[in-house]
Amino acid sequence: MKGEFLQALPIIETIQENGYEAYFVGGSVRDFLLDRKIGDVDIATSATPDEVQKMFPKTIDVGKKHGTVIVLLNGKSYEVTTFRTEGQYVDYRKPQYVRFIRSLKEDLRRRDFTINAMAMDKTGEIIDYFGGKNDLKNRVIRTVGNPYERFSEDALRMLRALRFVSQLSFQLEEETKNAIIRWNRLLKEISIERITNEMEKLFAGQSSNQAIRLLAETDVYRHLPGISHLQDRLLKITDYPLQQLTEREDYWLFLTYMLKIEDVRMFLQQWKLPRKLIQNVALQRERLSVLLEKGWTNYLLYQAGIDSALQLERVKQVLQKEKNVSAFQTLKDQYINLPIRSRADLAITGKDILDIIEKKPGQWVSKYLQIIEEHVLNRKLENDSGNIKEWLIHCNQKLDENC
Ligand code: ATP
Ligand code: MG
């Protein structure tokens, strides 16, 4: 058994000593069988949340009425969830009630996909009532039970299906795919935050190209913010080496460029992304246009700063369908060799300018500073106060701020 499970084993043993069942379930079992990196180790049990809380000294109540208690053990936290079934779904996203039960099989039945509906006992034995192992072997995403019902209960599952296609490089089982085509419109009932969360996982997956093609083919894209009319552009994206994008902001920058989004801020607001991300991506989007037009100038590199510059380079390489690892080092070297890296490095200040040119303070000062910056960065002007002052006097006489 893998270390992640061994560490959590005392939880299962304690629950069993108290006379209840407990198993590892869900994503960790799937990822273990696929030999992928194991994320959170979740536990399912026949004990109720109150019973679980009594067994462990350190627990956190995160959603007892849904059955989940967090148990803290050796500095790690584990979700321990009581076996449950769910009542009729309302609004295509939430069950009317959840009922705690004592049957593992019924708990596994309510889970979304066969590959997510397996359990593992404390000896490492896999419990697989719904053909999960077989689907893992054949690399398919298939709902537990009738996909038409399962997606109409909870529409988010459709996006989860595509997200797993991307993360695991699996195929969608045919009826599962047909059911998505049938029910994609129910996605309008799902909160944007949950949609965005799944979409970001989808973009980050190994097979995002395949998953994006499915977004287009199944018409799911029609219910995504700001792209409901952009099927052709979305399909174009699938020809690009998206795996070279590594950061969350990379995807949004690439996406807004490829989809030719005019109002980047508004588009990203529709996805309810954090303000900071929106701000960064909007700035980067402008810089990206400059980069594609003019290539790397010292001024652009200076303006962006090294981290944003590396991001622009990543996105540029994807847009140009190239992979040039050494370009990143070249860019770092170019950055280190810039004559200045911030305005504070400039050998002259706004106050100096006001002393030399006796005009009323105003916007013009920062305009001058910017021009000096550009000249210094382009090595037209040495970053030396005497030098710059001379240049200023000369320019001012000619009344030509660009000199
Ligand atoms: P990840 O690696 O992203 O955490 P995961 O499979 O663990 O993948 P979670 O969202 O953490 O996914 O959910 C844990 C488990 O709960 C899933 O494996 C699945 O069994 C079940 N599950 C999660 N969301 C749903 C849903 N919308 N409908 C049915 N079952 C779900
Ligand atoms: Mg998980």
Quote the pLDDT of residue 238: 97
pLDDT at residue 359, rounded to an integer? 86
Q: For the whole model, what pTM was predicted?
A: 0.92
Ligand 1 atom 7: residue of nearest CA: 27
Q: Quick one: pLDDT band at residue 1, thresholds 50, 70, 90?
A: confident
Model pLDDT, residue 282 = 98
pLDDT digit string, tens, across residues 228-266: 999 999 999 999 999 999 999 999 999 999 999 999 999
The number of the ligand 1 atom at minimal distance from the alpha carbon of 154 is 27
Give pLDDT, residue 403.
60
Confidence of residue 402 (pLDDT cuts 50, 70, 90): low
How much is the pLDDT for 341? 96
* Closest ligand 1 atom to Cα of 111: 30
CA 116 – ligand 2 centroid, Å: 10
pLDDT at site 401: 55
Mean pLDDT, range 23-44, rounded to an integer: 97
Number of the ligand 1 atom closest to the C-alpha atom of 160:
27
pLDDT 10s digits, 138-194: 999 999 999 999 999 999 999 999 999 999 999 999 999 999 999 999 999 999 999
Q: What distance in angstroms lies between residue 174's CA and the mean position of ligand 2's atoms? A: 25
Average pLDDT, the chain: 95
| pLDDT at residue number 397 | 67
* Site to substitute for ligand 1 among 112, 150, 158, most atoms within 8 A of C-beta: 112
- Residue 399 pLDDT greater than 60, yes or no: no
If you average pLDDT over residues 391-403, what whole number do you get? 71
Closest ligand 1 atom to Cα of 28: 7
Q: How far is the CA of 176 from the centre of ligand 2 (A)?
A: 21
The binding-site residues of ligand 1, defined as CB within 6 angstroms of any ligand atom, are 26-27, 39-40, 42, 111-112, 116-117, 154, 156-157
Ligand 1: atom nearest CA of 153 is: 28
* Amino acid making up residue 275: R
Atom 1 of ligand 1: nearest residue by CA position: 27
Q: What is the mean pLDDT of residues 304-312?
A: 98
When pLDDT is averaged across residues 114-136 and rounded to a whole number, the result is 98
What pLDDT is recorded for position 210? 98
Predicted local confidence at residue 171, as pLDDT: 98
Distance 28 CA to ligand 2 centre (A): 7
Is pLDDT above 60 for 394?
A: yes
For 83-116, write each residue's pLDDT tens digit: 999 888 888 888 988 899 999 999 999 999 999 9
Which pair of structure tokens corresponds to residue 235? 């399909």
| pLDDT per residue as tens digits for the range 46-85 | 999 999 999 999 999 998 889 999 999 999 999 999 999 9
Q: Whose CA is nearest to atom 18 of ligand 1?
A: 26
Segment 315-366, tens digit of pLDDT? 999 999 999 999 999 999 999 999 999 999 999 999 999 998 888 999 989 9
Q: How many residues does the chain have?
A: 403
Look at 62 and 403; give whichever has higher pLDDT: 62
- Judged against a pLDDT cut of 70, whether residue 134 lies above it is answered with yes
Q: Average pLDDT for residues 26-38, to the nearest whole number?
A: 97
Q: Give the pLDDT score at 398.
A: 64
